[in-house]
Amino acid sequence: MLEIVLTREDANTEYALLAEWLVADRSEVEAGQPVVVVETTKATVEVEAPGAGIIVQLYEEGVEVELGKVIARIAESAEELASLDVGEYDEQPAPKPAEGERKATRKAVALAERHAIDLSRIDKRGFITEKDVEELVARERAAAAPGAGSLLAGVSTEGVTLPASFEPSGSEPQGALGALDTAFLESLRSDPDAFRALSPDEKVRALRDGGAHVGDDVELGEGSYVVAPRIVISDGVRLGPRATVVCEEVFKAGALTSFGPNLELRCRRAFLGDGIWGGRSVRFGGGGHRDPWAVLAVGDLAFVGDEVFVNVCRPVLIGREAYVTMRSLIVTHNIGHSVLEGFENRFAPVVVEDRAQVGLGAVIYAGCRIGAEAIVASNSYVTGDIPSGSFAIGVPAKVTGKASHTPSRSRQLELGRRIVDDLRELLALRGHEVADADDGFEIEGVRVLFVPRYEGGVEGEAVVLTVEASADPPAGVAVLDLLARQVHGTGGPVLDAARELCRKRGIRFEPGPWRYRSGLI
């Protein structure tokens, strides 16, 4: 009896996804024949049969399996097959998938049909996978993308949720909000040090008096300087000490957007969405920042880490909930030796689609597009497009697998309960008194609990975490729907603490934007 085991080699997690069986259950297989496609966080691989015989599958495709588990057995004789039939082994065989030999996985075939892709155009040894089709679709979409206004001609905004304030055309709206008085604008440009010397409150008043639209609770740090013909700063914006914002046409910042000390932002047009968090010493600009195409747009809830540098001489579009992490670099042009001598001289936009992640110290080269929910590993160098949902690593970066795997329902419930346990531990270590309660704990008279499905029935003051909510909570009860990423009901510091812990687990809830202004944790 032979076994096919999910080994831990090259894996970075405790689980792997059985993406697709390549042979039918209880069919004959040969030694070395690919029998299943397995995906980990690092790679998508075809697992081969260790020998000849009849394969008995122990798991369905599309589920996560713990590494080290046996996923199939190969009976080398009729006696061994009979022992499986009488239940000598605990695991139950999976339902039979569709029969027949294929050169492409079933999911790859379905995706190709949906996009009218001829699989013969994909030149690859072995089985064509869903990832191969996604790469071809991404390349063709980028090549055929329509423009999004004169300043973004040739740049597709598909996959990018731009901030509500974004203006693609470049034309000046009639009676534009935030247009500065001509004399005040000239004074800002001619004497920046005078503006830097003002207190934070004085800066806000000066901008308002000069025609800028500045919302409530805005803080412009000591030594900061903001200048543009049009300035729109929404409620709760924070620009840290020594910030420098210089835009040739317009600067807009959405509600609750915040940057740490030493921000430098220089481009022609900048549109920052709501709830963006930026770290220390972030720099947007560089060579060509005054070019007509120097347009920056950053979507709501994006993250920009410490010491990030984004060169903006061509459009840079960063989507909603995208992560551009510490010391990463985005460039839209290079300058070197003469193009007439055969050296490259490239100017091209960069797009980071919604929920994509750019790892620590990674470089995104001019003309690249990072697809939605794709991950670029730390210290990678990206020279081509990365398809949506892919994981890419290396110099140059290559796609090696998927960025995420759908966990089983039992795994989701386990993770939900763990969030409640983690919150309890953190609160206790912070010195707060916590007590046992059904399905969770109690703090300051508020129960915190996890239930798989919220259908009501929870009374009193409570914060309920769930993976499915089917009822509206009564007064005093707040429900955090972890999968839908929605908050139902209202609450106080305990709800805020639970929401903040979830944020640190990558779960950002609506409605937003929202800011944790310190509290229990």
Give the model confidence (pLDDT) of 99-109 as tens digits.
Answer: 444 456 666 77
Position 139 pLDDT exceeds 70? no
CATH at residue 244: 2.160.10.10
Same domain, 331 and 367: yes
- For 315-330, the pLDDT digits (tens) are 999 999 999 999 999 9
Residue 100 counted as domain residue: no
Same domain, 131 and 213: no
C-beta of residue 274 within 8 angstroms of C-beta of residue 294: no
Give the pair of three-digit tokens for residue 278.
């930026």
Q: Quickly count helices (H) and strands (E) in the chain.
A: 8, 38
Give the pair of three-digit tokens for residue 17.
């996804």
Same domain, 354 and 451: no
d(C-alpha 116, C-alpha 195), whole Å: 58
- Average pLDDT along the chain: 87
Residue 384 counted as domain residue: yes
Q: What pLDDT score does 398 carry?
A: 92
- Cα 176 to chain centroid distance, Å, stands at 33
Same domain, 113 and 196: no
Q: What pLDDT score does 65 carry?
A: 83
Residue 97 counted as domain residue: no
- For 321-364, the pLDDT digits (tens) are 999 999 999 999 987 888 788 787 888 999 999 999 999 999 99
Quote the pTM value: 0.73
Instruction: With H, G, I as helix, E, B as strand and everything else as coil, classify residue 497.
Output: helix
Position 205 pLDDT exceeds 70? yes
Same domain, 317 and 233: yes
Of 35-49, 117-131, 268-282, 402-416, the poorest mean pLDDT is in 117-131
Identify the CA nearest to 298 among candidates 276, 283, 328, 314: 276
* Residues in CB range of 459: below 8 A, 6 or more apart: 474, 476, 477
d(C-alpha 252, C-alpha 174), whole Å: 17
Mean pLDDT over 12-17 rounds to 68
Number of separate domains in the chain: 4
Same domain, 164 and 280: yes
Same domain, 222 and 299: yes
> 11 falls in which pLDDT band (50, 70, 90)?
very low
> 60 falls in which pLDDT band (50, 70, 90)?
confident
Same domain, 325 and 217: yes
Of 103-107, 218-222, 402-406, 437-441, the poorest mean pLDDT is in 103-107
Residue 98 counted as domain residue: no
Length of the chain: 521
Residue 435 counted as domain residue: yes
Same domain, 216 and 330: yes
C-beta of residue 440 within 8 angstroms of C-beta of residue 424: yes
Residue 457 counted as domain residue: yes
Give the pair of three-digit tokens for residue 232.
């729109």
Q: Which residue would you say has higher pLDDT here, 394 or 62?
A: 394
Query: Residue 473 belongs to what domain range?
Result: 409-503
Same domain, 397 and 463: no
Angle between helices 493-503 and 409-429 (to 10 degrees): 120
d(C-alpha 359, C-alpha 338), whole Å: 32
Residue 509 counted as domain residue: no
Q: Provide the H-helix boundaries in 63-105.
A: 78-85
Q: Which residue would you say has higher pLDDT here, 61 or 124?
A: 61
Same domain, 288 and 161: yes
d(C-alpha 209, C-alpha 212), whole Å: 7
Same domain, 228 and 168: yes
CATH at residue 21: 2.40.50.100
Say how many C-beta atoms besides its own lie within 10 A of residue 70's C-beta.
14
Maximum distance among all Cα pairs of the chain, rounded to whole angstroms: 94
Helix (H) or strand (E) holding 409: helix 409-429
- The residue out of 360, 381, 402 marking a domain boundary is 402
Residue 520 counted as domain residue: no
* Cα–Cα–Cα angle for 205, 211, 217, rounded to 5 degrees: 40
Mean pLDDT over 134-145 rounds to 62
Percent of the chain with pLDDT over 70: 88
